[in-house]
Structure formats: C-alpha cells, structure tokens
Amino acid sequence: MLTVHLHNLHFYAFHGLYEGEETAGNNFEVNLDVTYHVRKGEMDDLKNLINYEDIYKIVQQRMSFATPLLEELASGILYKIKHEYAQVSAISISIFKLQAPIENFQGKVGITFFKNFEV
C-alpha cells in the first residue's frame, strides 16, 4: 500500500451556509491522504502511480465551486478521486474554515471524511 499526502493546501473560496459567506468568502485549508495498492516493481514509473499533481487539480477544481456544507464538499472531492483512480483503497480528507463566522472565536473549524473502499 502507498499513500499520497497533500497537506496544508490553502484556498480562498465561497463555501458556507451562513448569510454573506457565499459573497464574502473565506480561507480554507485542505488535508488529503489517498491510499492505494501498487504492485512490487511498478514504483519506477509515474504512469503506474497516482500523481499528487493530478490529485491537487481535482481538489483545486472542486474548491472553486461554492458549496454550503463542508461535508458535501469533502464528499465530492473524495468520490471524484475514487472515480478517477479505481485502485484507491482509502481516502481521508479534512477541510477547515480558517475564519469561522462565530463571535469571539479564534481557531479553525472543520470536518474530516474518511472512506475505506475495501470494507
């Protein structure tokens, strides 16, 4: 098994359920782990592997489409990756909103969606 990690990806996007979030936007952080099977002897050629640049493009594209709920956003990214790469056995994605619209709140809020495709 091999895992591709993309962590601390930062995007400015327009996701949110609360009034004004769809127009004001916010900073988001995405962490993504994609685990898949690779056979011995196939790790010497990128065509046999999952390219982290291609995974980043999937995340980047989906982050540009405004979505009210982070859960829906994470699900869309997760299933798009699985659709593109059948050999994926598990994905974990965390999405954080870095300036949550909560009065007197400092920190970040977010969700993690984990899917094991081998169960």
Q: What is the pTM of this model?
A: 0.91
Higher-confidence position of 95 and 101: 95
**Where do the H-state alpha helices sit in the chain?**
21-24, 52-63, 70-84
Structural domains counted in the chain: 1
Pairing of strands 88-97, 26-36: antiparallel
**Which residues does 47 contact at the CB level (< 8 Å), separation at least 6?**
none
Q: Looking at per-residue confidence, does 101 or 13 come out higher?
A: 13
- Which CATH number characterizes residue 107's domain? 3.30.1130.10
Nearest Cα residue to 81 out of 36, 15, 19: 36
Quick: pLDDT tens for 39-65: 877 777 778 899 999 999 999 999 999
pLDDT at position 103: 87
Question: Residue range 84-105: average pLDDT?
Answer: 93
pLDDT in tens, 2-27: 999 999 999 999 998 878 878 889 99
Give residue 79's identity as a one-letter amino acid code.
Answer: Y
Structural domain harbouring 54:
2-116
User: Residue 8's pLDDT is what?
Assistant: 98
